[in-house]
Chain A
Amino acid sequence: MFNSLFPPAKNISDGSEAKSDVHVELCNASIKIHSQNNNTLKRLLLQQKQNAPYKLILDSVDLTCSRGERIGIIGHNGSGKSTLLRAIAGIYPLTSGTVSRSGTVSVNMERGSGLDGELNLRQNIQLNLANTGRYHLYSQQVVDEVLHYAELSKFSEQPLKLLSSGMMARLSFAISMIGDADIMLLDEAFATGDAKFIKKSTALMRERIDSMALLFFVSHQLESVQETCSRTILMANGRVIGDGDTDDMVREYGKIIKSR
Chain B
Amino acid sequence: MTRQEDRGGPRQPLLIAKDLKRHFPIRSGLLNRQTATVHAVDGVSFDVKKGEVLGIVGESGCGKSTTARLMIGLIELDDGQIIFDGDVLGEDITLKELRRGVQMVFQDSYASLNPRLTILDSVAFGPKINGLEDPEGKARNLLKRVGLEPDRFAHRYPHELSGGQRQRVNIARALAMEPRLVILDEAVSALDKSVEAQVLNLLNELREEFGLTYIFISHDLNVVRYISDRVLVMYLGEVVEVGPAEAIYHNQAHPYTSSLFAAMPSMDPDNRTEEPPLAGDPPNPINPPSGCRFHTRCKFAESVCSAAKPKLSVIGGDETHLAACHMMDPASGHSQSFREAAE
The reply to whether chain A is a binding partner of chain B is: no
Query: Residues of B with Cβ closer than 8 Å to A?
Result: none
Interface, chain A (partner B; CB < 8 A) = none
